């Protein structure tokens, strides 16, 4: 993995995650770099993320950060034919779905996935190293609802190996839906991506499949999703054994449909809104994976120097009203500062304000609703 080209302060904390072993619990030490992925609000370089081209879909279909899940239980918005549970590393506020043994994990949705969509999630691993057992995790695109690749009949998948390094191993399709068989070995061994947190971004555009790990794209297969492959998505774990000290988990999982682009929405409606600019929890610090969305907005402004946009921050209803109002204003200001400092946009083209939780886009009673309410809106002035 390429090293970051800009300097930021590293703050490491050691935490404990609880992995169930039979009827007992085992403490597993995990180290997380809390500042990885942050952008200073005054504007700074994006480093290697300046090559990151992933743009999340604009219509959120599914979101789960497991915040409402009961620790030790399987989350209500997921289905499995195996096992898994919600865990919370000690000293953090994040909850995770622990992937266990040989299990497939299917997000609960009302209907099959559309032709064009994106998927994003964080994955945390621990307990892997030289001489220790290997685990596998598959990102699988299925033609029908199933809890495992074998039960789906046909599949396209990316295989991830967890050993002394994280390996992006191979991508392939097979089965009756795949009229043209595709198999490609990637074999990228990433020692800095194991026993830590990484971010996966996936884009499906009809037959085309692209997958990024952090800032780098590892898969770009133009015709791998043939027939109905990709109408369902599962994460399938193989030999992730907590009793052997192995830990693999996901959180901040989102699926969004890609419909009209920002330019079209701005021309037709005079405004657009995005949930694709990400901030740290209760913070105005922008995450680096927001780069492509900000770059796209910057391109609109550069192509039309007369265009002026008012940036409006919105939050969900968690927490105090006054805090949320202030937070939304600070987040909008961070976006403005990034556009001017990182992308060279004229300060006179931008203004900002915050509206807190006062104008929800959806009901705040569900994780998806809250995620849709945590948005940044751009209105033509």
Domain borders along the chain are 12-43+53-257, 262-380
Reference 84, options 249, 195, 244; nearest CA is 249
How confident is residue 48, by pLDDT bands cut at 50, 70 and 90?
A: low
The whole-angstrom separation of Cα 296 and Cα 291 is 9
Residues 42-59: what's their mean pLDDT? 72
Give the pLDDT confidence of 12-26 residue by residue, as tens digits: 333 344 443 333 333
Structure tokens at 375: 């948005």
CA separation for the pair 103, 234 (Å, rounded): 10
- In CATH, what number does 262-380 get? 3.30.1330.60
Give residue 10's pLDDT: 28
Task: Give the whole-angstrom CA distance, residue 123 versus residue 343.
Answer: 30
- Mapping DSSP to helix (H, G, I), strand (E, B) and coil, where does residue 91 land? coil
Backbone angles phi, psi at 331, to 5 degrees: -65, -45
Note the pLDDT of residue 28. Answer: 42
* 262-380 has the same fold as 12-43+53-257: no
359-379 pLDDT tens trace: 999 899 889 999 999 999 999
Does 45 score more than 90 pLDDT?
A: no
Its CATH class, for the domain covering 12-43+53-257, is mainly beta
Residue 12 contacts by C-beta under 8 Å, 6 or more apart in sequence? Answer: 31, 32, 33, 34
Backbone phi, psi, residue 333, to 5°:
-65, -40
Q: Name the residue with higher pLDDT: 340 or 261.
A: 340
> Structure pTM?
0.85
Is residue 1 scored above 60 in pLDDT?
no
Question: 187-194, long-range: CB within 8 Å, 24+ apart, which pairs?
Answer: 188/218, 189/165, 190/1, 190/165, 190/166, 191/164, 191/165, 191/166, 192/1, 193/1, 193/165, 193/166, 194/125, 194/128, 194/162, 194/163, 194/164, 194/165, 194/166
Residue among 138, 97, 100 at smallest CA distance from 250: 97
- Give the span between the Cα atoms of 58 and 114, in whole angstroms: 13
Q: pLDDT tens-digit profile of 303-353? A: 999 999 999 999 999 989 999 999 999 999 999 999 999 999 999 999 999
Map tokens 């002394």 to a residue.
164
User: CA 318 to CA 341: how far, in whole Å?
Assistant: 31
Question: Where are any strands of DSSP class E within 50-94?
Answer: 59-64, 78-80, 84-87
Res. 46 pLDDT band, cuts 50 70 90? low
């Amino acid at each position: 993995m390429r090293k970051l080209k800009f300097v930021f302060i590293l703050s490491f904390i050691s935490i404990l995650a609880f992995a169930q072993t039979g009827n007992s619990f085992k403490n597993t030490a995990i180290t997380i770099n809390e500042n990885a992925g942050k952008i200073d609000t005054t504007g700074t370089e994006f480093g290697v993320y300046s090559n990151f081209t992933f743009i999340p879909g604009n219509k959120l279909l599914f979101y789960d950060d497991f915040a409402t899940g009961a620790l030790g239980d399987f989350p209500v918005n997921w289905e499995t034919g195996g096992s898994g549970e919600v865990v919370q590393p000690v000293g953090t506020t994040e909850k995770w779905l622990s992937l266990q043994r040989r299990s497939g994990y299917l997000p609960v949705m009302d209907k099959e996935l559309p032709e064009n969509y994106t998927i994003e999630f964080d994955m945390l691993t621990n307990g892997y190293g030289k001489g220790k057992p290997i685990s596998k995790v598959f990102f699988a695109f299925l033609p029908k609802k199933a809890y495992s690749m074998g039960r789906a009949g046909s599949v396209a998948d990316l295989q991830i190996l967890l050993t002394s390094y994280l390996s992006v191993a191979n991508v392939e399709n097979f089965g009756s839906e795949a009229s043209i068989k595709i198999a490609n070995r990637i074999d990228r061994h990433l020692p800095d991506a194991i026993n830590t947190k990484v971010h996966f971004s996936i884009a499906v555009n009809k037959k085309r499949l692209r997958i990024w790990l952090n800032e780098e794209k590892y898969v770009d297969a133009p015709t791998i999703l043939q027939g109905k492959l990709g109408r369902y998505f599962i994460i399938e774990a193989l030999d992730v054994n907590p009793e052997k000290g192995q830990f693999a988990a996901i959180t901040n999982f989102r699926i969004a449909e890609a419909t009209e682009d920002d330019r079209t929405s701005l021309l037709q409606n005079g405004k657009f809104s995005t949930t694709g600019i990400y901030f740290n929890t209760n913070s105005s610090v922008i995450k680096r994976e927001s780069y492509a969305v900000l770059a796209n907005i910057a391109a609109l402004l550069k192509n039309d120097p007369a265009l002026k946009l008012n940036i409006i921050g919105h939050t969900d209803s968690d927490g105090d009203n006054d805090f949320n109002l202030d937070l939304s204003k600070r987040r909008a200001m961070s976006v403005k500062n990034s556009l001017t400092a990182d992308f060279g946009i004229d300060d006179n083209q931008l203004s900002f304000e915050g509206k807190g939780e006062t104008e929800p886009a959806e009901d705040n009673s569900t994780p998806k609703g809250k995620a849709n309410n945590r948005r940044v809106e751009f209105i033509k002035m």
